[in-house]
Structure 1
Amino acid sequence: MKKFLIFVFVLSLSVGFLQAQDISLKVKSEKVSMKIGQTVQLDASVVDASGKKIADRDYIFYSTNGSALSVVDSTGVATAIRHGEYEVIVISPGAPQLRSNITVTVEAAAIAKVDFGVIPKNIYAGVNLPLKLTVTDKAGFERPERIVELTSSNEDVVAIAPFDKLIIKEKGKAKITAKIEGVTETLDINVIENPIAKILLKSDMVEGRSGDVFTLTAVALDKNGNEIKDAPINYSFTGESFDVSAAPSGIITKEGKFAADAPGLYVLNATCGPAAASVTVQANSRNIARKIDLVGQGSVNNKHTSDLWVWEGVDGKDYAVTGTWGADGTAYFWDVTDPAGIELIDSVKVDARTVNDVKVSEDGRVAVISREGASNRKNGLVIIDVSNPRDAKVISEFSENLTGGVHNVFIYKNHVYALSAGRKYYSINIEDPANPRIVGEFELDTPGHAIHDVWIHDGIAYSSNWSDGVQLVDVGNGIAGGTPANPVQFASYAYPSGSNHAAFPYKDEKSGKFYVILGDEEFPYGLDPDGRKPGRAAGFLHVIDFTDLKNPKEVAWFQVPFAGSHNFWIEDDILYAAFYNGGVRVVDISGELLGDLNRQGREIAWIVPEDPDGFVANAPFTWGAQPHKGHIFYSDWNSGLWSAKLAPVVPNNTKLEEAK
């Protein structure tokens, strides 16, 4: 049974978990077993050295909302939503602060059904058929880990191969039976003669670069030259790399799209039973690497730095605001007009431990910062007048309905979209910043649903909902009739890891493709709650093709070895991504995207902020990156605000050394 590590940033609202020698936090049971739908009250108590319970202590229970697992509220009421093994963390926040863990195991429900997936109308002899089996349990959850036993009533017509593949041998009939845990489903197969005699194949181009998409067109003909429109054509490739040290590799889709990882010659094949055709194409080096130079730093070395926002002020100068994490509720304001001389010009301190997110309105007059860990537990957001960033002034505070800490916010057309308790977001009208008011809200109704982030572009809210993936919601675009007061969801996409943490939309004007880039956030190596040790993250960026809103699909990805993604930005066909301990990565995402963007040589440059005087010395942990007026600004958890600049594009593939 898969084990999910539960880690919540809120747990680190204190600068450490002190354990006194004479008192300790004990849980009633360190291991709890539950069935789906069951509710259990988890218990804990603080006891002295003799085991006597100490009165007047508070207890807070935390579980993850990050993977749509079982739900535990702050009072310790656990509701079993989904099978699995989960860790619940219990905090007693008095003096000293104490901590303990409970492992909750939720028993899986019995298997309910097996589905064979979509089966083609015509099944031709000699053309193998892969099945897409879906196993569902009685709780409604898919169970991809369960193995289905397949048998055929006539092995001469249809044989069973590993990994749920049917080998179609000759004309005839056969019954396929699927069995699992007492559940049996059957599928009748009628194999007909294969009419395909010839395949005509062509590519839309014969020469490109690594990462460019070659689109194949294949036409299957019978012996009389008539087209067989439903021919199940399979595509494959072989290759020869130009560099003997690099193996030829790439990706080819079932629709006939090919992208090479390495420069070389590639033979692209189309087959359907005995018929086959091929074309040869050449992929040249992408050759887009550019030099990147460190320009400046605004050091913060006495606390952790969170997110950033850079904007042009009403006076025409350039400014930035950064938050702080697990500290004293301070937001810093910077003059970045000269990126080489970043100047701290003001700060605002609010009742919070963490100012996780910072945003500035389109006109550069109003900033909104989020609050987590307020002393009175009334978190919410703070609205600040930044028309003069050298004298930032709090206009108002707003906490109505914003429970559990506001982790992320976004400002769009006089509305703030603010997360509440990691489960929903509210749209808050700030036309009068001194009197904000809630006008709408959006929340999923899926079991254990959760949300991490919301980003607004062109009237569409892109919310990152962990295991529920990205949700596209009309909040004023008009595509689905939505408004800030009436958000309307119209598309979504989720992927198996359940780690969707951030999203950013992007349309490639040349290909017409509309993508949403989704980022994971994972800490498989753990994260030091006190934040005094170097950290390592995992997870990568997923490129989802939303051109057909009703049929989104993952087409490409970008991964940095031994590092994990966080926040990112796209401008002029370039992706600027913060990869925690991997620093900032600058990536070419021009044209149609397919496959492994890193292996294709699409990374333009990278820079890692290392600071010997940082809050944790020489421990880069980059939070976010934003391009602004030809520079790249980025915040780092351990060292503050930085700026860098890319060297200009070198014409005619001239080597960088020759262009200096």
Structure 2
Amino acid sequence: MFASFGFTQAQDLSLQVPKEKVNMKIGETLQLEAMVVDADDNMVSGRDFIFYSRNRRALSVVDTTGLATAIRHGEYEVFVISPGSPQLRTSIFVTVAPEPIASIDLEGIPENIYAGINVPLEITVKDEAGFERPEKVIALSSSDEEIITVAPFNKLIVKKPGKATITAKVDEVEESITMEVIENPIAKILLKSDKVEGKSGDVFTLTALAVDKDGNEVSDAPISYSFTGESFDVSAAPSGLINEEGKFVADEPGIYVLNATSGPSAASITVQANTRNVGREIELIGQGSMNKKHTSDLWVWEGIDGKDYAVTGTWGADGTAYFWDVTDPAEIFLVDSVKVDARTVNDVKVSEDGKVAIISREGASNRKNGLVIIDVSNPRDAKIISEFSENLTGGVHNVFIYQNHVYALSAGRKYYSINIEDPANPKIVGEFELDTPGHSIHDVWVHDGIAYSSNWSDGVQLVDVGNGIAGGTPSNPVQFASYAYPSGSNHAAFPYKDEKTGKFYVILGDEEFPYGLDPSGRKPSRAAGYLHVIDFTDLKNPKEVAWFQVPFAGSHNFWIEDDILYAAFYNGGVRVVDLSGELLGDLNRQGREIAWIVPEDPDGYVANAPFTWGAQPHKGHIFYSDWNSGLWSAKLKPVVPENAKLEAK
């Protein structure tokens, strides 16, 4: 049953797992097995095993003994580690069989079906386990092709008035619907735009009105939007996006023709998008070098003495947090440090009054991780006030301080609300956890009484912890909105409201390592993933409207201030992005990136291998931490007025 398929060997020891794939059914629980053998195939006793899966929503490894529960169909890899000397690693491959198809839902059919206007069908296929099955092939047919013809990709070509029955079949399951086509009353479309000239990245909002031959509005007329264009730059193709609401944004400066159609009726309008021209020079100002350990997160604040300070954590090291004087960003220097029982101090935060710091602990020798509360009234003499580990199991990956409460993650599954009005005697007063299968959490950020938790596959959760919008308090958190996207990589979130447009967004960041991540931290690494802009203006109907992506790099932590985004993109350094105005489409292609800077250090933990962790604006400077080189500061150069440029020439 055990064989040398997928094993590692060191010092004549092998970690062995089942040779064949493990087969499971949805809902089944199974004990996964592994063993260590010597060169003579004798089992070695006294070895521990750690099992984990990267896809916890689909195959939940509930504990380190390898007890697995199959939640969703698919093929998955379970990683097995035997710590000790030597450390051994391998994988078990698990196949979870799908359940039979149970239902087909035909949706998206308008109440009035007009001749000449095609209908895109929305078809949802579900199996007996309740999961959607988008990979299944759907066979569509029409009872009368003269009235309605079936086209590829679930489109219906509506030809003339009459009745036809549309049937969808998947495996042995069928669903039918009878559709009646009526005469098309639309005579013409009246079209206008809120503006005819703007910049790349600006949103042009179209208003289209369909009317009949008597000039009466056809209120239910389905209108489709499209565009053509001509770029000002002959080397760049015209590019942009227009959505189903008639909102258009140009990526490339140029002249664009915006079209509205409904069956045979159409109208057009011409608009011009000029160069956005938001680019600014960015200048490196200073560095607080840390090249003996990996640096994790940072927090910058004004101390009660009026000077400016920063605290940084460390990753995979000795549990040290460092305190820096950053009053002069060109002369960053270390003023103190605090060492705790941990391998990683992943997160660091400072209270609003600048008196208390919280650092998280992971990898404590006694497995009591939790958090540490530190008096930073004098950052030159930082003192531990108390340590807190009650219910905080599995290492605390992230924390946040808000109004005398700490929101701290536990076991990567939930967060606790901990009252620290008396920092020497913290106490748990509330908690928040999802009830979805295999749920997990990475981060929580609190602003204006709302906690934004990043829950990987479950996306962002908006929870009232004192705002009042849903009657929540720190002791009674109340979730009132959420949004998830297909990749399941939601790692961080930051709220942002544009005061001019009234739009309320939450920026969500991925964290992905498709190229692998060297656990020793001795090799350069490269990440992936990007920022998703979610419009939460209507809390009941959030939608993804825009995105920001850096080629061959991945997002991590970020900050927004005065309509500007400061984002750490690991090997892509810090990216500074213009968020002003309504947001739609590809923000990078639109020329919204203001500046970027990459912290390359030949004396770094890994030489010249930028891996930027987080960025924070503070008093006109940008501070950012880098995994391999410590704490940095930079500054955007002022915008030069156009008339000043002309005078200089």
TM-score class, shorter: over 0.9
How far apart, CA to CA, are the structure 1 residues paired with 2:353 and 2:310?
Answer: 14
Partner SS state of residue 169, structure 2: strand
Shift of residue 656 of structure 1? 11
- For 1:41-440, list aligned pairs within 5 A: 41-64=31-54, 69-440=59-430
Q: TM-score, normalised by structure 2?
A: 0.97
Partner SS state of residue 485, structure 1: coil
How far apart, CA to CA, are the structure 2 residues paired with 1:616 and 1:638?
Answer: 6
Partner SS state of residue 614, structure 1: coil
How far apart, CA to CA, are the structure 2 residues paired with 1:117 and 1:612?
Answer: 59
Q: Does the C-alpha gap of structure 1 residues 630 and 553 become closer, same or farther in structure 2, counting only changes over 3 Å?
A: same
* Aligned residues with identical type, % of pairs: 82
Shift of residue 48 of structure 1? 2.1
Check the 8 A contact 1:364/1:387 in 2, yes or no.
yes
Amino acid at match of 1:287: N
Check the 8 A contact 1:65/1:422 in 2, yes or no.
no
Partner SS state of residue 133, structure 1: strand
Check the 8 A contact 2:325/2:332 in 1, yes or no.
yes
How far apart, CA to CA, are the structure 2 residues paired with 1:72 and 1:475?
Answer: 29
1:556 corresponds to which residue? 546
The partner residue of 1:447 within 423, 437, 451 is: 437
1:624 corresponds to which residue? 614
1:528 corresponds to which residue? 518
1:7 corresponds to which residue? none
Partner SS state of residue 390, structure 1: helix
Check the 8 A contact 2:455/2:461 in 1, yes or no.
yes
Partner SS state of residue 428, structure 1: strand
Partner SS state of residue 642, structure 2: helix
How far apart, CA to CA, are the structure 1 residues paired with 2:284 and 2:131?
Answer: 49
How far apart, CA to CA, are the structure 1 residues paired with 2:503 and 2:460?
Answer: 18
> Which deviates the most, 42-51 or 341-350?
42-51
Partner SS state of residue 236, structure 2: coil
Amino acid at match of 1:309: W
For the pair 1:511 / 2:511, whether they are aligned, the reply is no
Amino acid at match of 1:116: L
How far apart, CA to CA, are the structure 2 residues paired with 1:30 and 1:508?
Answer: 55
Shift of residue 600 of structure 1? 0.3
Aligned-pair RMSD on alpha carbons? 1.6
Amino acid at match of 1:516: V
Shift of residue 95 of structure 1? 2.8
How far apart, CA to CA, are the structure 2 residues paired with 1:312 and 1:612?
Answer: 31
How far apart, CA to CA, are the structure 1 residues paired with 2:440 and 2:130?
Answer: 19
Check the 8 A contact 1:68/1:466 in 2, yes or no.
no
Shift of residue 310 of structure 1? 0.6
How far apart, CA to CA, are the structure 2 residues paired with 1:257 and 1:131?
Answer: 23
1:27 corresponds to which residue? 17
Partner SS state of residue 116, structure 1: strand
For the pair 1:566 / 2:595, whether they are aligned, the reply is no
Partner SS state of residue 54, structure 2: coil
Partner SS state of residue 163, structure 1: coil
2:482 corresponds to which residue? 492
Partner SS state of residue 287, structure 1: coil
Check the 8 A contact 1:137/1:143 in 2, yes or no.
yes
Q: Does the C-alpha gap of structure 1 residues 445 and 159 become closer, same or farther in structure 2, counting only changes over 3 Å?
A: same
How far apart, CA to CA, are the structure 2 residues paired with 1:331 and 1:378?
Answer: 18
Shift of residue 28 of structure 1? 4.4
Q: Does the C-alpha gap of structure 1 residues 658 and 64 become closer, same or farther in structure 2, counting only changes over 3 Å?
A: farther
Q: Does the C-alpha gap of structure 1 residues 80 and 655 become closer, same or farther in structure 2, counting only changes over 3 Å?
A: farther
Q: Does the C-alpha gap of structure 1 residues 374 and 68 become closer, same or farther in structure 2, counting only changes over 3 Å?
A: farther
Superposed CA deviations along residues 533-579 of structure 1, whole A, max 9, x for unmatched, are: 11111111000000000000000000011111111000000000111
Gaps of 5+ in 2: 1-6
> Which deviates the most, 221-230 or 114-123?
114-123
Q: Does the C-alpha gap of structure 1 residues 653 and 222 become closer, same or farther in structure 2, counting only changes over 3 Å?
A: farther
How far apart, CA to CA, are the structure 2 residues paired with 1:56 and 1:70?
Answer: 26
Shift of residue 275 of structure 1? 1.0
Shift of residue 220 of structure 1? 0.7
Shift of residue 653 of structure 1? 7.6
How far apart, CA to CA, are the structure 2 residues paired with 1:497 and 1:655?
Answer: 45
How far apart, CA to CA, are the structure 1 residues paired with 2:642 and 2:462?
Answer: 41
Shift of residue 175 of structure 1? 0.8
Shift of residue 198 of structure 1? 1.0
Count of paired positions: 643
Q: TM-score, normalised by structure 1?
A: 0.95
How far apart, CA to CA, are the structure 2 residues paired with 1:285 and 1:166?
Answer: 40
Q: Does the C-alpha gap of structure 1 residues 71 and 654 become closer, same or farther in structure 2, counting only changes over 3 Å?
A: farther
1:9 corresponds to which residue? none
Check the 8 A contact 1:67/1:466 in 2, yes or no.
no
Check the 8 A contact 1:18/1:96 in 2, yes or no.
no
> Which deviates the most, 78-87 or 595-604?
78-87
Gaps of 5+ in 1: 1-16
How far apart, CA to CA, are the structure 1 residues paired with 2:381 and 2:15?
Answer: 46
Partner SS state of residue 466, structure 2: coil
1:13 corresponds to which residue? none
Check the 8 A contact 1:68/1:450 in 2, yes or no.
no
Q: Which has the higher contact order (CA 8 A, sep 6+)?
A: 1
2:631 corresponds to which residue? 641
Partner SS state of residue 601, structure 1: coil
